[in-house]
Structure 1
């Protein structure tokens, strides 16, 4: 006879990789009990409204098939295996999360990235901390990148931001721990309060994608139903304050997508170039040749933050490049650093059958070179005019070609998808600057890659905690083993 459970669960045993996990063995979340008409047992229903105290825990292997079919576990662990008589074979059947019934609510997929590069250590050892004196002032509040249009406290238009929540990953593990998963499910469940009663039962399953099932850095959680769209549309779910608070507490970030075939099978991917596929802003590098880097960089920063019209700022910056040798791009190529993981990402996408393009607010010679380096199918960028007599740049843009600004990037994405017969749900865009926002919003999946704050606020998805660009492959539903196999020569 087991004792009744308390209302507050404790992390007793198990791990995400075991067959009997903490979620499955220690928690049975329910809103009510539905009596079974077949075996007069109670079929538990799942919700994270609370924990129902039971005087006796009924062994799972004694539940009837009707009870098992009514049971919807919040974890990914399937019901206890059925052992076939006169055989050593074991076969497990659980259709709760693999075969949706007709009329079931839409499903969403949340990909959780843990910030393994900077794990939280809220209470460092005293010997490793700077000496603190009574007269020392408290540190000024900081604005987290992506939470506001600016990270400057002086320019913050509202009251100072609230203190950061207490980090929890240093207590429960520097990875997506089982307590982290439990908290995430509780957060999702709390957002179903405005759903109709028939759609307040949260069901979910999870997969550990990388690096392993015991200490996953990336986890995928499939769940349904979504919150009532009149209260919280699915495309805004990842921006809800509850999700943001969860991310800050657990040192991770969450990307939410519809769970459908188009998520797994992208056919067109469009990249920005500067600070995305490569780590430099090319126009700033060119400006260094004539000693105007400081002036150009200031304009570039404001343009990428969305403070200036891109086309006007581009003309102003290009005018400062007058007199730069025409072969400057050849001299720059050895200095260009391709973003870690970019080669692997492009290689993997090509093997999956994707068409790849770079649409850059930079310049065509380097876009063409980068396309050759990464195996891209198309390259679109701005064209500079050079004087054939002096072999120098004139400081003008070639009027025969359109300026590749935000609107043109979006139009290129739309036209390529239409030309190749792809649905927009099959497209993906990756960028970091304000001029990338239109194409990020138009694509089936728009990813702000370590982007400016304004871009992170407006883009459908953001990634800051990845180890490299190739981590984007996990958004397609691939796990670490599949990614390794995809990239193997």
Structure 2
């Protein structure tokens, strides 16, 4: 029991002025609670330290609590005592356990919209021609009006407009990449999620309202369930060509022998999902017949590693990740890239070499499987299983149609600067990041924490 002669504790009260506390004068919210309140401002304002039982219920009830929503009580099974905590996040409401995290990347440095906001546009004359509708490059998964999910007029209020009162929306936010004027990366956590009968979780990111918000605010949003598996992933697999590196290797080989135009056309159609990957790969490899087998040594100095890839891999390794490259390209460069980035595994296609002439035969080694869409997916599952890692703790990054199955299988699949088809089908997409390093923000890390991980 506290002694009545105990020395006075420091207080935030302004006794010599008006008797009200600084917290009282500056609190933004008012309490909706009834009954005793033991919030921090109520306790600090007491002139003397007195036993809790001696506090007046009337004086406590008149205090302004930091909480704006009534808390849920905890009843002790042994004594029957009722305990309350002033902030509702400490005691989630029943049935409010599910939360969604939205990571928002703002593209404030490079505005993508060709016209200023309609509210700021100069008044138009009746004779002015109406511009043809268009979708600006980079502002959506596709620039084709016919493929874009346009928002139809709602003939009546949608079910979400009639949510029962008890489905109160709560949210919180964090600045992951803070800036004095305009934070570039934000994280917003909210609950409850939409009713799955109306909008399944896997379709939330495809909803017209998300695209509309992104266009309006010049940003991109990646949605994930708020779970421990989001923050603590353990395996990340990458595509190689146009993901970890900025070239398509087979096109670079074709340029080396002067047939780039023919090969590049096939590559583009394959990455867009217009051709069967395995068939198109065999057709392109056949054009490489007679190429010196040391061609990869000549290509290595020309390979450009994607900005931020080295830093991203360094961060993930220091967090304890296993890393792998799953490439539809070729094994010699995949092995070289794994060494450059510190990857644990490298899987790619194997070419047959004629050791007498020291040239490529234009064939794929039949003793090794073709690393196509299905095999990438199988490799992801196999790596996770071999390391005893749940798929929810895996991450995949790619840009081509042959990456779609692994992107959908991983706990988080990100289409990075990807083809239109991939962006439309992948669980998440990112086009406006400053570098590949921005992917770490999807784990909930802040810029300060990233800088600490990169520090030698």
**Both structures adopt the same fold (TM-score exceeding 0.5):** yes
Structure 2 unpaired stretches of 5+: 1-22, 37-60, 73-84, 118-126, 152-157
Counterpart in the other structure of 2:243 = 276
Q: 1:477 to 1:372 in 2, by over 3 A?
A: same
Cα distance, 1:63 vs. partner?
5.1
Q: What does residue 169 of structure 2 align with?
A: 202
Please report the RMSD computed on the Cα atoms of aligned residues, expressed in angstroms. Answer: 3.1
TM-score (norm. length: structure 1):
0.71
Selected match of 2:273 from 302, 306, 314: 306
Matched, 1:110 2:102: yes
Compute the displacement of 1:213 (Å).
Answer: 5.8
2:421 pairs with 1:454: yes
Alignment-derived partner of residue 70 in structure 1? 70
2:342 corresponds in structure 1 to 375
2:134 maps to what in 1?
A: 141
Any residues of structure 2 matched to 1:73-222 within 5 Å, and which? 95-97=87-89, 100-101=92-93, 103-119=95-111, 122-123=115-116, 138=131, 141-142=134-135, 144=137, 147=140, 151=143, 153=144, 157=146, 192-193=160-161, 195-199=163-167, 201-212=168-179, 214-222=181-189
Q: Are 2:340 and 1:347 equivalent residues in the alignment?
A: no
CA contact under 8 A between 1:111 and 1:221: conserved in structure 2?
yes
Given that residues 360 and 382 in structure 1 are in contact (C-alpha distance below 8 angstroms), is that contact kept between their aligned partners in structure 2? yes
Determine whether 1:421 maps to 2:388: yes
Question: Which position in structure 2 is the counterpart of 1:435?
Answer: 402
| Whole-Å separation in 1 of the counterparts to 2:269 and 2:298 | 27
**Which consecutive segments of 4 or more residues in structure 1 shift more than 6 A?**
134-137, 160-163
Asked if structure 1 preserves the Cα contact closer than 8 Å seen for 2:32 and 2:70, the reply is no
CA distance in 2 between counterparts of 1:456 and 1:398 reads 32
Looking at structure 2, the residues matched to 63 and 305 of structure 1 have their Cα atoms a distance apart, in angstroms, of: 63
Distance 1:99 1:319, change over 3 A: farther
**Alignment partners' CA distance in 1, 2:222 and 2:376:** 23
- 1:477 aligns with 444
Question: Separation in 1 of the partners of 2:304 and 2:28?
Answer: 49
Answer yes or no: is 1:406 the counterpart of 2:334: no
Looking at structure 2, the residues matched to 205 and 482 of structure 1 have their Cα atoms a distance apart, in angstroms, of 20
Change (3 A) 1:198 1:321: same
For residues 108-140 of structure 1, give each alpha carbon's deviation from its aligned partner in whole angstroms, at most 9, with x where no partner exists. 10000001341257449xxxxxxxxx9999467
Q: CA deviation at 1:99?
A: 5.1
Q: Is the 8 A contact 2:257 2:291 kept in 1?
A: yes
CA distance in 1, matches of 2:139, 2:407: 15
Larger Rg: 2
Distance change in 2, residues 1:432/1:117 (3 Å): farther
Partner of 1:334: 301
1:157 deviation in Å?
4.6
Q: In 1, are the aligned partners of 2:214 and 2:221 still within 8 Å (CA)?
A: yes
Q: TM-score, normalised by structure 2?
A: 0.76
Deviations 1:290-329 (CA, angstroms, capped at 9, x unpaired): 2111111111111111111110011011111111111110
Would the aligned equivalents of 2:67 and 2:88 in 1 still touch at CA under 8 Å?
no
When residues 301 and 62 of structure 1 are mapped into structure 2, their CA distance, relative to the original with a 3 A threshold, is: farther
**Deviation of residue 392 (structure 1)?**
1.2
Q: Given that residues 38 and 66 in structure 1 are in contact (C-alpha distance below 8 angstroms), is that contact kept between their aligned partners in structure 2?
A: no
**How far, CA to CA, are the matches of 1:441 and 1:68 in structure 2?**
40
Aligned residues: 380
**Measured at CA, do residues 308 and 195 of structure 1 come closer, stay the same or move farther in structure 2, by a change above 3 Å?**
farther
CA distance in 2: counterparts of 1:351 and 1:235, whole angstroms? 31
Using the alignment, how far apart are the partners of 2:304 and 2:400 within structure 1? 18
